[in-house]
Amino acid sequence: MDFKKDFASILHEVLDGKLNQDKLTLMIEKPRFEEMGDLAFPCFELAKVFRKSPQSIAADIAAEIVSPLLEKVEAVSGYVNVFLSKHKVSSIVLKEVLTLKEHYGDLDLGKNQVITVDFSSPNIAKPFSMGHLRSTVIGNALALITEKYGYRSVRINHLGDWGTQFGKLIVAYKKWGKEETVKQQPIKELLKLYVTFHEEAEKDPSLNDEARGWFKKLEENDDEAMKLWEWFREESLKEFSKTYKLMGIEFDSFHGEAFYNDKMDQVVHLLENMNLLQESEGAQVVPLEGLAPCLIKKRDGTTLYATRDLAAALYRQDTYQFAQSLYIVGNEQSLHFKQLFAVLEKMGYQWVKGMAHVPFGMMLKDGKKMSTRKGKVVLLEEVLQDAISFALEDIKQKNPNLPSKEEVARQVGTGAIIFHDLKNFRQNDIEFSLEDMLKFEGETGPYVQYTHARASSLLRKGEFQENQAEVCISDAEAWPIIMNLTIFPQAIKRAFEENDPSQIAKYVIELARAFNKYYASVRILEDDGQKQERLSLVYSVKVVLKEGLRLLGLEAPEEM
Ligand code: ARG
């Protein structure tokens, strides 16, 4: 239900089509005070058009409006204030939620077309950075939201698993590495070897030549080089998988940069045949209008990140015939994606129109960018473990008899971290603060999860009976909840259209707040003949909170 839209269409008719509906929708306001109704239409702009005072225009409009959903229409100081019929609206929305349940808000826009979502994509043999955390949680939420809209999402982890750094790693491992230590703590150990390499290469630059030699061997599929690389990759993946598992995140493909190694010649040939390549200082580039040229091949003949992304785009279109293709990657790669899309457009591919870079801001520490170098990183897995232990302590104190404490602690701890990120508009920078992440009140994931658990407990205690055919709650206390329930589909729509999960995060916070207010002022479980109706409202809140959390990638425990 979208009352703004309904109201706009009524206004459109009353005004004889003088203003279009979109414009009217934008003009409609939500009054600040309850006494002023549920929606208000200001008539000041119309004064010029109609050559009448806003007051008399408002009065004229108010006199003409009739709608079964409205209880009352008033003209007050140049505004048309409308009051929705609490009775009708509540019975419509509750019926919708009670019958559709978690499918409330579904929309079959996608008709099973594919959207590829390229997200997370960490670099192997390196720690999973906070930037990758952002990509992981935003990408996961966007994949879930597109599925809600009837698309088939293909979740791709475009691993950074190729490049000269693997030559360095091989040299370092052969000189200073031990199989056992790498197996025990792959990422930490490989990072250490990498750092050692750089320290040693400063003293002895010939190490760099050695590293180049090993990367060349790798590109030529040398047995020993390949075996080591595969092993590094496998150990890194094992470690990343632990993190993904903690967060409940899955991928359809782990084809990273290395996968495209044997598919690059084809791309270069294609560009050649299309006459798009030009030589520039010995390198091969595609010149672009209004953008820096896209580098395809270096002077020494090796390919680049962009070449691999070109190959990946062609491969993905070929394999999945995607209707849309999203890349969830930080702001700092904006130029790269502009170039990528521009090259594909020059190649004449129509499907480039469905491609988009979904950028996001940085995770800052004390106002500065976090740096991966010199081990000065915050390790995601450690942050997750800290959050989980914190949640476990909290549960042990507040609910010592809870069964499966560990599992609930995992859901709540990871939920805290995911939500901390997603409640922000993705383009904003976020200050990393473990303390903030672990606050379990205010605008946090655990607060919403806790509200969901509270609703679940009420339903158990009150022995809620589903299958209530007609439910209607028209008391004033319930009204903010009802209004919130009606706008869930709009929050999803905005999140989908703007690739912005924070719309849903903000929504669930509002709904949770409205519910907790209701909980504090109404005796929900009182046996006064209305209990089952109130419980239907509680149930609707539970369903919508759970679905909202799910779309963000959070679980909703029944008890916590
Ligand atoms: N591995 C890259 C990085 O850490 C991100 C890859 C993003 N995806 C892509 N198709 N370029 O910066």
> If you measure from the C-alpha of residue 269 to the centroid of ligand 1, how many angstroms do you get, rounded to a whole number?
24
User: What is the SS3 assignment for 498?
Assistant: coil
The answer to whether 125 and 191 are in contact (CB under 8 A) is: yes
DSSP string, 262-323: GGHHHHHHHHHHTT--EEETTEEEEEETTEEEEEEE-TTS-B-HHHHHHHHHHHHHHHH--S
Q: Which of 118, 119, 154, 158 to mutate to test the pocket of ligand 1 (most atoms within 8 A of CB)?
A: 158
Task: Identify the CATH number of the domain in which residue 504 sits.
Answer: 1.10.730.10
Query: Does 524 lie in the same domain as 424?
Result: yes
Range of the domain at 190: 164-246
Residue 19 falls within a domain, yes or no? yes
Q: How far is the CA of 93 from the centre of ligand 1 (A)?
A: 43
Q: 248 alpha carbon to ligand 1 midpoint, in Å?
A: 21
* 463 neighbors 399 (Cβ within 8 angstroms): no
Is 475 among the domain residues? yes
Residues with CB under 6 A from ligand 1: 118, 121, 123, 158, 160, 309, 312, 327, 329
| Nearest CA owner, ligand 1 atom 9 | 158
79 and 173 share one domain: no
- Whether 73 and 179 map to the same domain: the answer is no
Q: Is residue 181 part of a domain?
A: yes
User: What's the pLDDT at 365?
Assistant: 79
Q: Is the pTM of this model over 0.85?
A: yes
Contacts of 545 (CB under 8 A, 6+ apart): 448, 451, 452, 455, 508, 511, 512, 515, 556
In a domain, 273, yes or no: no
Q: Whose CA is nearest to atom 5 of ligand 1?
A: 121
- Do 408 and 511 share a domain, yes or no? yes
The Å distance, Cα 355 to ligand 1 centre, comes to 15
Measured from the CA of 309, which atom of ligand 1 is nearest? 10
In a domain, 480, yes or no: yes
Q: Which of 223, 246, 269 is the last residue of a domain?
A: 246
* DSSP H or E segment with residue 130: helix 130-148
Q: Are residues 412 and 527 in the same domain?
A: yes
Report the SS3 class of residue 546.
helix
Question: Residue 368 domain-assigned?
Answer: no
300 Cβ partners below 8 Å, 6+ apart?
Answer: none
Q: Are 505 and 415 in contact (CB under 8 A)?
A: no
Residue 538 lies in a domain: yes
- Verify that 171 and 55 share a domain, yes or no: no
Nearest CA to ligand 1 atom 11: 309
172 and 79, same structural domain? Answer: no
User: What distance in Å separates the CA atoms of residue 413 and residue 440, rounded to the nearest whole number?
Assistant: 10
Question: Ligand 1 pocket: which of 121, 126, 255, 341 to mutate (most atoms <8 Å of CB)?
Answer: 121
In tens digits, what is the pLDDT along the chain, a chain of 560 residues? 788 888 999 999 999 888 899 999 999 999 988 889 999 999 999 998 889 999 999 999 999 998 888 999 999 999 999 999 999 999 999 999 999 999 999 999 999 999 999 999 999 988 887 889 999 999 999 999 999 999 999 999 999 999 888 999 999 999 999 999 998 888 889 989 999 999 999 999 999 999 999 998 998 899 999 999 999 999 999 989 999 999 999 999 999 999 999 999 999 999 999 999 999 999 999 999 999 999 999 888 888 899 999 999 999 999 999 999 999 999 999 999 999 999 999 999 999 999 999 999 988 877 777 765 545 567 788 889 999 999 999 999 999 999 999 999 999 999 999 999 999 999 999 888 878 887 778 899 999 999 999 999 999 999 998 876 678 887 889 999 999 999 999 999 999 999 999 999 999 999 999 999 999 999 999 999 899 999 999 999 999 999 999 999 999 999 99
Domain co-membership, 515 together with 386: yes
Q: Taking a C-beta distance cutoff of 8 angstroms, is the pair 524, 462 a contact?
A: yes
- Shared-domain flag, residues 201 and 78: no
Same domain, 412 and 531: yes
Q: Is residue 93 part of a domain?
A: no
Atom of ligand 1 nearest to the CA of 333: 12
Q: Tell which one of 255, 333, 337 to mutate to probe ligand 1, the residue whose CB is within 8 A of the most ligand atoms.
A: 333
Question: At which of 213, 246, 279 does a domain end?
Answer: 246
Cα 309 to averaged position of ligand 1 atoms, centre (Å): 9
State the sign of the Cα–Cα–Cα–Cα dihedral 205, 206, 207, 209.
Answer: positive
Domain final residue, candidates 246, 261, 282: 246
Give one word for 121, left, alpha or beta, with left for phi > 0 and alpha for psi -120 to 50: left
What is the tally of structural domains in the chain? Answer: 3
Whether residue 151 contacts residue 114, with contact meaning beta carbons closer than 8 Å, is answered with: yes
| 332 Cα–ligand 1 center, Å | 11
- Please give the pLDDT value at position 118: 98
How far apart, in whole angstroms, are the C-alpha atoms of residue 123 and residue 58?
61
The span from the CA of 139 to the CA of 154, in Å, is 11
CATH number, domain with residue 42: 3.30.1360.70
Query: Hey, CA dihedral for 344, 346, 347, 352, is it positive or negative?
Result: positive
Cα–Cα distance measured from residue 471 to residue 94, given in angstroms and rounded to the nearest whole number: 7
Atom of ligand 1 nearest to the CA of 132: 4
Q: How is the beta sheet containing 368-369 ordered, strand by strand?
A: 368-369, 363-365, 430-431
Judgement on whether residues 523 and 390 belong to the same structural domain of the protein: yes
Residues 390 and 498 in one domain: yes
Give the Å distance between the CA of 327 and the centre of ligand 1: 9
